[in-house]
Structure 1
Amino acid sequence: MPTPYGDSVFHTQNIQQFATDVASATGGALEITVHSAGSLYAHPEIKDSVRRGLAPIGEVLMSRLANEDPVFAVDSIPFLASSYAEARALWDASRPLVEQKLAAQGLTLLFAVPWPGQSIYTKAPIDSTEALQGASFRAYNAATERLAQLMGAVPTQVETGDIPTAFATGRVAAMITSPSTGVSSQAWDFTSDYTDTQAWLPKNMVIVNTKAFEALPEDQRAAIREAASVAETRGWEMSAKETDAKMATLKENGMTVAAPSETLKAQLAGIGKTMTEEWLEKAGEEGQKVIGDYQSNM
């Protein structure tokens, strides 16, 4: 089983436990060997390796498949779902369509787990988007580039590993990323304020080759599905704990952690509405149903 992230990442730890649970439930008849940190296949290759049957099972960031179908980007629309409760409701609304799209490619979804929410890092407190007008803002994909534009900032492409240097040299003055990335890049060295927006909570999916899965005995398939259900619940809990722990680390290192002001919340909600409408133009009737189901359950 190839996975993209290292052994210290909670997603990988959750998957290791999933593999242990499957082996235990099948009395050792079915064993899953996890190859973490892209050691078997690099992240961009994992989904296709599972589809082609080169690996029977793997983990992938859902939004990496957005170029195949807009539905895979639904959990990365800024400010559509800005808490774990909202992210859960959005997943409940979108999961059937995600499963359908994967099934068409010979893939079966087992479970999905979110990363901590994306929040704003700045060198001074911000009460509104006006504080970001004209500021160079780190972007790492089309969505964050569009987000920066709508906030009045200037999007600047910077990869994760280059964040400290980009701030130190003045290439960027602000960014939006998870508390996990903030800690790993030691954001307190170059920013002072963390505004807890939880703009979106992107998910990793664990997928299995449908033919390989259906070739297993029924008791083993049942064991996998049960372990997957447990892993999804456990993974969401681990993600929430990761958020709390990493935010505490930011505070311990002198950063100011604050909720967004009412003005900023309203402005960001407006940006979220705009980006949701733009997504719906691509996603069509299928997307309309997902958003409708989500909003009716909130």
Structure 2
Amino acid sequence: MKKLTTALVIGSVLSTSALAAKWHMPTPYGDGNLPTQIAYGFAEEIKDKTSGDLDITVHSAGSLVKHTEIPRAVKTGQVQMGEVFLGILGNEHPVFKHDNIPFLATSFEDAKKLWEAAKPQVEQQLDKSGMKLLYAVAWPAQSLYTKMPVNTLSDLAGAKMRAYSPSTSRLADLMGTTPTTIQVPDIPQAFSTGIIQAMITSPSTGVDSQAWDYVSYYTDVKAWIPKNVVVVNKRAFRRLDKNTQNAILEAAKHAEALGWEKVAERAASDKAKLIDNGMKVSDPSPELLNQLQAIGATMIEEWKAEAPKEVGEILTRYQN
């Protein structure tokens, strides 16, 4: 029944012209997550600004389109806009990996600076794919969830680690673990059935998936601060009248500003929820931190080698 409903919705999207009042926006994460909450506000602001002429339905938690399929759905016009975790586009071009590189930017201030440095390249690559960037929402810093205490990487030797992007797969390799691709909705079952024994993700994802039910330890390594991006099909956007385009762009500007404002607050509250539910939260040992930072340095060099011109421009803007 769910597959039939999804097919009917997408079918209705395909049969609707870009000038129609009803648009669809799939998102990969549940309603409890900050990016999804901002997406609802974004859609509501556009509806208000256009007096209902453009009504965007947000389909959360992968209910309309699976996460990995959202970029293609937007490119091909199956849906007019969508939200994706930026790092999953890493195989399309290295510029999409900038916020998945460990220890390149670990504070919100640095992450925002890195985003401003990378945005021109990201916009250029999305444009080539028939998509237009609207806004980005950062996640809290990514840290380590495990069933056992981890003081050095040797404690993780041979473990299966969740991967969700090309960069996280490479990180798992360098950590001496086995990368295993698991999307957010499948995390609890993957841990419970032994498919994975560790993951690096945000406190928000930990709360959303009730990590305390399947792991006991959260080591606050703050490895990187990734983002979701909201994109629109370029052709659909161009077919809108100028006032509607401006309404979307203005709402997008507000959404991004709100995301940067709220993410630190959400990081603190979600970390507190992990503690309240019995998880053992600790800072990394100096040895573990040194080992992870060394891996980060390796991944930065590898990233540069993938696209020296584009990556070099990002790093130059970021470091100046």
What range is the shorter-chain TM-score in?
Answer: 0.7 to 0.9
1:67 aligns to what?
Answer: 91
**Residues 163 and 12 of structure 1: CA distance in aligned 2, closer, same or farther (over 3 Å):** closer
Contact 2:89 2:96 in 1 (8 A): yes
Q: Does 1:183 align with 2:183?
A: no
Q: Does 1:291 align with 2:309?
A: no
Among candidates 129, 139, 159, match of residue 136 of structure 1: 159
Code of the aligned partner of 1:157: T
> Mind listing any 5+ residue stretches in structure 1 that lack a counterpart?
none
Q: Does 1:2 align with 2:25?
A: yes
1:114 aligns to what?
Answer: 138
Q: Hey, what's the Cα distance between the residues in 2 that align with 1:280 and 1:250? A: 36
Aligned positions of 1:81-160 closer than 5 A: 81-132=105-156, 134-141=157-164, 142-151=166-175, 153-157=176-180, 159=182, 160=184
Q: Hey, what's the Cα distance between the residues in 2 that align with 1:156 and 1:60? A: 21
Contact 2:163 2:172 in 1 (8 A): no
Q: Hey, what's the Cα distance between the residues in 1 that align with 2:67 and 2:138? A: 17
**Residues 246 and 288 of structure 1: CA distance in aligned 2, closer, same or farther (over 3 Å):** same
Code of the aligned partner of 2:129: Q
Q: Tell me which moved more, 221-230 or 138-147.
A: 138-147
The superposition leaves residues 25-60 of structure 1 with CA deviations (integer Å, 9 ceiling, x where unpaired) of: 223333222233333333233222222233222212
Equivalenced residue count is 294
2:21 aligns to what?
Answer: none
Contact 1:179 1:243 in 2 (8 A): yes
The superposition leaves residues 102-143 of structure 1 with CA deviations (integer Å, 9 ceiling, x where unpaired) of: 1122221110112222101234544443444x2514132443
Code of the aligned partner of 2:259: G
CA drift at 1:277: 0.8
The superposition leaves residues 134-185 of structure 1 with CA deviations (integer Å, 9 ceiling, x where unpaired) of: 251413244334323433x332526355655665666655432221232344
Q: Hey, what's the Cα distance between the residues in 1 that align with 2:185 and 2:80? A: 31
Identity of aligned residues (%): 48
**Residue aligned with 2:221, SS:** coil
Q: Does 1:213 align with 2:237?
A: yes
Code of the aligned partner of 1:154: T
**Residue aligned with 2:161, SS:** strand
Q: TM-score, normalised by structure 1?
A: 0.87
Aligned positions of 1:159-178 closer than 5 A: 159=182, 160=184, 163-164=187-188, 173-178=197-202
